[in-house]
Structure 1
């Protein structure tokens, strides 16, 4: 003689055990998904070109950027990193970034990780 109550209890226990095993597996697999690098959002103000050919950029707000990730292009050509001056290892709020040997009318772009974060034209 079979007890109908036993089979429902066993099925409930097996269902709870299945849920307790699957939930951590799904959670761990979702947590291991690496998010894509996000494009930094930065507000940059370009200063006037001074008489010695220096052009300065001011970080007015937004994300900080590592100095090694900052690339500056002049008229479409990458500027050598030796001509980029940054006091710290990061370009952060309140910092100034300088570039030498610039001319009036040069189109300047600041790029980080293959995304343009600033474009402007150097003016005196």
Structure 2
């Protein structure tokens, strides 16, 4: 029989899972890192992020704006200029994003060793 807390724990895990799905894909993390250096226009952001399609970048920016991480400012000139910047929430999110990026860089050699050992075991076994 389930304890009363089990339902609450399950609901909390589902809530956390949904929220993490919104913020944890690689493009979101890369866009937030670039915008952490300052506001960017779309094409500048696309160049700095790397191999991201225009469609994926637009979708990522919409999601970030929808969730309160990014602001979008349109300057009414011809053609209109659009600039994206981190909001206060986005700047707060930048801290764990940067920490994760640093962890990945520091530990990538260890992950490479583990991956190579795993592949060797698979090939030998």
For normalisation by structure 1, the TM-score amounts to: 0.27
Which structure has the highest strand share of the two? 1
Which structure has the highest helix share of the two? 2
For normalisation by structure 2, the TM-score amounts to: 0.27
The structure with the largest alpha-carbon Rg is: 1
